């Protein structure tokens, strides 16, 4: 068993797919001046999602009628498994790391979702190794992307109810300002006399004022802070929590004893990166507007549309539907001699992994301030969640009395152990502007994705082999007849 694992592990590490990933990973490290065109990345992502969906839809149409119930049950189990993983990830982050609660909730949402890139890579490895898997697994990719979005939105909605300020800080966290949410609605909001008396007489050091200038505000609102009888006005051009902001102070007076307005410019590169990964364009001048219009509900129509009809999910379901209907009409595109969906698939996947390696390498630098506990979580989480997923899948297999292929376990493990980088960035930008844009992607792409596609897949194959060998499924009579 150990020899087989080592052989699979070393063989997997030097597959062309992974060699392209390594090459991309080294590009930022060696300061190679190569920029991957955004249009090419989005085109590759669209192609891969449609190709996976189309092939999955055709295979789904060819299933025996009794397997549709099995597929439906697996989808329900996968949905609730990822929902539980999102809650477990949040609990683990709160216990083991020192990141803010809003960031813990957002990262947990990423891990409660799944990764199309990891899934595609795993499919490529399994196909190259001639390892079978259930044809309906691409449908689970779409279904299991949704729970993480719901977990993150729910947790952040509860935090807002408990008094989270507009910069994403909770009571007791550094930089918390209980008046910030009220003041962000209007630059002329004055609150009650008692609030002003208490706030106006607070003593602030110059360092605290500088910290306020840098960290205050979400969206395009203006925030007013008073110190004694003077007022400092500052405006925010970006979402709360965006790293790398600089405060520039005005140098004059306005005649009313107020200092000139200083501007706060948010970093746009993080928004652009999120938008590219989420297959979307982003208006950098409208960050946080949706959060201010939430109306007390964590699932408004705009947000529901983003959760269930984001580009990744839509393209995947579109491909599945097209393939399903085409197969029912007697047309099967994904034959072994098909040029577009078969012959080109692995080549384009290699180019996709080149870009993913570049992105993962760039994201590693964002882990510097998160602490070793956060990095440890990003390494341990995929193994823990993937193993739990395989145990759940094996339990479902035993209940059905129908053994699953090794590839099915591996793909389900990948769906449980991976972290999103398509759906969640879009949802975060729309509904959770207070959270850090860099921490979740640093964990999901910089650590978890890199681990899964290099080490994780052969590890999951070994665990699945051990599981099926030492805890075999007793085939029921009904399953035997069906097969």
Instruction: Give every CB contact of residue 247 below 8 A, 6+ residues apart in sequence.
Output: 210, 213, 214, 234, 262, 263, 264
On the 0-12 / 13-18 / 19+ scale of CB atoms within 10 A, 94 is: middle
- What is the tens place of the pLDDT at every residue in 403-457? 999 999 999 999 999 999 888 888 888 889 889 988 999 999 999 999 999 999 9
Residue 255: pLDDT over 90: no
Using an 8 Å Cβ cutoff, are 247 and 255 in contact?
A: no
Q: What is the mean pLDDT of residues 150-168?
A: 90
Top pLDDT among 334 and 136 is at 136
Using an 8 Å Cβ cutoff, are 50 and 318 in contact?
A: yes
Does the model's pTM come out above 0.85? no
**Structure tokens belonging to residue 403:** 């053994």
Q: What is the mean pLDDT of residues 155-179?
A: 87
Cα(18)–Cα(346) distance, integer angstroms: 12
**Structure tokens belonging to residue 317:** 């379901």
Top pLDDT among 138 and 426 is at 138
The pLDDT-based confidence of 477 (bands split at 50, 70, 90) is low
Backbone angles phi, psi at 163, to 5 degrees: 105, 20
Top pLDDT among 56 and 296 is at 56
**Structure tokens belonging to residue 156:** 């952040």
264 SS3 class: strand
> What b/e readout covers 98-116, taking b as 16+ CB neighbours within 10 angstroms?
ebbbbbbbbbbbbbbbbbb
- What is the tens place of the pLDDT at every residue in 363-372? 888 887 788 9
Contacts of 64-73 spanning 24+ positions with Cβ under 8 A:
64/482, 66/482, 67/136, 67/482, 70/400, 70/402, 71/134, 71/136, 71/139, 73/396, 73/400
Strand pairing report for 262-265 and 222-227: unpaired
pLDDT confidence of residue 478? 54
Strand pairing report for 246-248 and 222-227: unpaired
Place of tokens 């539907």: 321
Nearest by Cα to 137 from 324, 390, 468, 410:
410
Cα(256)–Cα(190) distance, integer angstroms: 17
């Amino acid at each position: 068993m150990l020899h087989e694992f080592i052989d699979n592990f070393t063989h997997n590490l030097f597959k062309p797919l992974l060699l392209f990933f390594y090459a991309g990973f080294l590009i930022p490290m060696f300061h190679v001046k190569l920029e991957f065109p955004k249009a090419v990345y989005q085109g590759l992502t669209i192609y891969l999602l449609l190709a996976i969906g189309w092939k999955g839809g055709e295979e789904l149409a060819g299933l025996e009628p009794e397997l549709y119930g099995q597929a439906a049950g697996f989808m329900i189990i996968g949905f609730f498994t990822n929902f539980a993983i999102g809650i477990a990830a949040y609990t683990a982050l709160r216990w083991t790391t020192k990141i803010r609660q809003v960031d813990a909730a957002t990262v947990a949402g990423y891990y409660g979702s799944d990764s199309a890139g990891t899934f595609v890579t795993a499919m490529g490895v399994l196909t190259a190794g001639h390892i079978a898997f259930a044809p309906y697994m691409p449908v689970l990719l779409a279904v299991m992307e949704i729970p993480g979005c719901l977990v993150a939105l729910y947790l952040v909605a509860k935090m807002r109810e408990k008094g989270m300020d507009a910069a994403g800080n909770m009571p007791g966290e550094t930089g918390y300002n209980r008046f910030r949410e009220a003041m962000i609605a209007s630059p002329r909001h004055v609150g009650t006399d008692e609030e002003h008396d208490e706030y106006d007489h607070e003593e602030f050091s110059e360092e605290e004022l500088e910290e306020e200038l840098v960290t205050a505000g979400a969206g395009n609102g203006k925030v007013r802070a008073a110190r004694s009888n003077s007022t400092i006005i500052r405006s925010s051009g970006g979402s709360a929590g965006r790293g790398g902001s600089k405060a520039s102070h005005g140098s004059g007076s306005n005649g009313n004893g107020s200092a000139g307005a200083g501007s706060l410019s948010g970093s746009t590169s993080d928004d652009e990166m999120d938008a590219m990964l989420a297959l979307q364009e982003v208006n950098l001048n409208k960050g946080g507007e949706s959060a201010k219009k939430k109306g007390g509900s964590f699932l408004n129509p705009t947000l529901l549309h983003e959760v269930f009809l984001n580009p990744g999910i839509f393209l995947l379901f579109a491909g599945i539907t097209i393939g399903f209907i085409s197969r029912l009409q007697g047309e099967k595109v994904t034959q072994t001699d098909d040029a577009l969906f078969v012959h080109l698939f692995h080549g384009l996947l290699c180019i996709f992994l080149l870009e993913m390696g570049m992105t993962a390498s760039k994201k590693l630098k964002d882990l510097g301030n998160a602490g070793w506990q956060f990095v440890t979580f990003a390494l341990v989480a995929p193994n823990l969640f993937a193993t739990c997923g395989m145990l759940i899948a094996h339990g479902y297999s035993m209940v059905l009395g129908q053994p699953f292929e090794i590839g099915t376990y591996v793909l389900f493990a990948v769906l449980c152990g991976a972290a999103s980088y398509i759906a969640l960035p879009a949802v975060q930008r729309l509904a959770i502007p207070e959270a850090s844009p860099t921490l979740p992607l640093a964990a999901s792409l910089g650590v978890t994705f890199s681990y899964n596609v290099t080490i994780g897949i052969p590890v999951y194959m070994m665990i699945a082999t051990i599981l099926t060998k030492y805890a075999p499924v007793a085939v029921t009579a009904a399953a035997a007849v069906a097969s």
